Amino acid sequence: MSDSWATLGVDLHLEARGSTTPGPHRGLRKGVTDALREAVRTGRLPPGTRLPSSRVLAADLGIARNTVADAYADLVAEGWLTARQGSGTRVAERTVARPGGAPRSPRKPSRPAYDLRPGTPDLSAFPRTAWLKAARRALAAAPYDVLDYGDPRGRPELRSALADYLVRARGVRADPERIVVCGGFVHGLRLLGQVLRARGAQTVAVESYGLDAHWSLLRGAGLGVVPLPFDARGTDPSGLGEEGAVLLTPAHQFPMGVPLHRDRRATVVDWARRTGGLVLEDDYDGEFRYDRQPFGALQGLDPDRVVYLGTASKSLAPGLRLAWMVLPPDLVHEVTRAKGHVDLCGALDQLTLAEFITSGAYDRHVRASRLRYRRRRDTLIEGLAAHAPDVTVTGIAAGLHAVLRLPPGTEKPVVQSATWQHLALHGLSTYRHESARAERLDALVVGYGTPPGHAWGATLGALYRVLP
């Protein structure tokens, strides 16, 4: 039932702001009512559509159930919806006249009905209440000048909170003075690319599998990008030579899911010490490890040669645009200068995250998320065993995604078939560097963290339908 909501891809808030009447009394109830009315009026919720229960929709939107129930009641009274005992709330069958004008601007294509692309956590689980509480506390306690232009490295409150957290949770050797807050991992990587180029670096080694967006950023800084070989022990750094840096995901290779073997961790740090190269450690999901103790950050082995990059995009939400770098001392000044006063992050979000971390709310959220994702992972593994015995699951000891190995030659047709089912799904080839020296494999990269809670079951169903 609740899937109809996701299926129809109704974007409540977008529509709600279509109401252009300003005024302090425009309430949530009106916003929800307007959005639903608009969705019915424009046909995006066709006659007969069954709406999710007020409980499910309220949970989805993070608002009180009564607000949704009131909005439903208003629309039943207006004739847009019908409510019947036992059959729930539906869009009225009779054709309704279309009052008012057209929507303001053409809508972009809505989200796919089901989404298993990796890279995003379950955004419906964002801890809204705790976040707002932290915002309130942070803003109340802050002296007025936190709202001024600030230190390009980021708010000292946040750098201090991060230093404590990273030492404790990720084994990073951190100090607030060496932390630079940035607007997402990609922002940090762009700054590092600029600095490396300015230092005279020509190329950066990367992994055979990864994100083309990252490689493009480095190329955009004028750097060549060379993939390293990959095998069951992870990325093989033994061939590293004159490269200025190597970009790695040591705790949980993205997307293959293996940790970097301990011998190779040593090899890469030795290379950096020997040549003066830098290791860029992308610790994108280091918080999420299920079957054993998390691997400590590679940076702990040599904080003078490894740049640690962490992010709130997986642990909280990408929309926060908050990430952090722990830099070798000699790099702090260069990165700060490259950042200048142009790329600062909003002070209030920084203060809020600092309070969120120091109050313990971040730890609680990560713990709760770890449990939830672990359950999802276990459900996925069991479901695959039952529905798709030819599929092998790997890379599942950590993180928010799994690699599903497929019979040879089937990746492309499976992804195509998913598109027809309105299931967004990425094949492993999406993440393979064009000149990777690694065996070509047919596989899917399944982001089981991505679907919102209410859509999880139906999304899995869609996945099983497209697997061989």
Using CB under 8 A as the binding rule, whether residue 26 contacts a second copy is answered as: yes
- Residues comprising the chain, all counted: 468
User: Shortest approach of a second copy to residue 293 CB, angstroms?
Assistant: 21
Per DSSP, the three-state class of 333 is helix
Strand partners, 115: 424
Among 2, 3, 4, 31, binds a second copy (CB under 8 A): 31
Among 77, 232, 342, 386, binds a second copy (CB under 8 A): 342
User: Shortest approach of a second copy to residue 21 CB, angstroms?
Assistant: 9
Cβ proximity of 356 and 362 under 8 Å: yes
Closer residue to a second copy in complex, CB, 230/373 = 373
User: Shortest approach of a second copy to residue 258 CB, angstroms?
Assistant: 26
Cβ proximity of 80 and 40 under 8 Å: yes
Among 42, 55, 83, 164, binds a second copy (CB under 8 A): 164
Cα separation, 193 vs 198, whole angstroms: 9
Closer residue to a second copy in complex, CB, 126/464 = 126
**Which residue bears the tokens 């039943």?**
76
User: Shortest approach of a second copy to residue 373 CB, angstroms?
Assistant: 16
Using CB under 8 A as the binding rule, whether residue 132 contacts a second copy is answered as: yes
Choose the stretch contacting a second copy; rule: CB under 8 A; options: 272-280, 350-358, 370-378, 405-413.
350-358
Cα separation, 96 vs 427, whole angstroms: 43
Cα–Cα distances (Å) from 79 to 4, 42, 47, in that order, read: 20, 15, 12
Using CB under 8 A as the binding rule, whether residue 70 contacts a second copy is answered as: no
Among 90, 190, 252, 314, binds a second copy (CB under 8 A): 190
Using CB under 8 A as the binding rule, whether residue 461 contacts a second copy is answered as: no
Using CB under 8 A as the binding rule, whether residue 346 contacts a second copy is answered as: yes
Cα separation, 135 vs 62, whole angstroms: 17
Cβ proximity of 270 and 243 under 8 Å: no
Cβ proximity of 299 and 326 under 8 Å: yes
- Write the binding mask 375 to 414 for a second copy: x where contact by CB under 8 A, - elsewhere: ----------------------------------------
Per DSSP, the three-state class of 69 is helix
- Pick out residues in 303-322 that bind a second copy (CB under 8 A): 317-322
Closer residue to a second copy in complex, CB, 345/398 = 345
Closer residue to a second copy in complex, CB, 37/305 = 37
Closer residue to a second copy in complex, CB, 68/384 = 68
Using CB under 8 A as the binding rule, whether residue 160 contacts a second copy is answered as: yes
Using CB under 8 A as the binding rule, whether residue 139 contacts a second copy is answered as: yes
Burial string for 159-188 (b: 16+ CB within 10 Å, else e) reads: bbbbbebbbebbbbbbbbebbbbbbbbbbb
- Pick out residues in 417-456 that bind a second copy (CB under 8 A): 452
Using CB under 8 A as the binding rule, whether residue 146 contacts a second copy is answered as: yes
User: Shortest approach of a second copy to residue 121 CB, angstroms?
Assistant: 9
108: exposed, middle or buried (C-beta count within 10 Å: 0-12, 13-18, 19+)?
exposed
Cα separation, 436 vs 206, whole angstroms: 10
Among 54, 315, 358, 410, binds a second copy (CB under 8 A): 358
Cα separation, 11 vs 71, whole angstroms: 16
Choose the stretch contacting a second copy; rule: CB under 8 A; options: 145-153, 290-298, 302-310, 392-400.
145-153
Using CB under 8 A as the binding rule, whether residue 28 contacts a second copy is answered as: yes
Using CB under 8 A as the binding rule, whether residue 111 contacts a second copy is answered as: yes
Cβ proximity of 324 and 181 under 8 Å: yes
Question: Position 181: which residue type?
Answer: V
- Pick out residues in 252-291 that bind a second copy (CB under 8 A): none
Cα separation, 345 vs 351, whole angstroms: 11
**Which residues are within 8 A (CB) of 204 and not within 5 positions of it... i.e. 6 or more apart?**
193, 196, 218, 223, 224, 225, 226, 243, 244, 245, 246, 247, 280
- Pick out residues in 200-259 that bind a second copy (CB under 8 A): 213, 217
At residue 242's C-alpha, the angle toward residues 175 and 185, to 5°, is 40
Among 325, 344, 436, 460, binds a second copy (CB under 8 A): 344
User: Shortest approach of a second copy to residue 5 CB, angstroms?
Assistant: 10
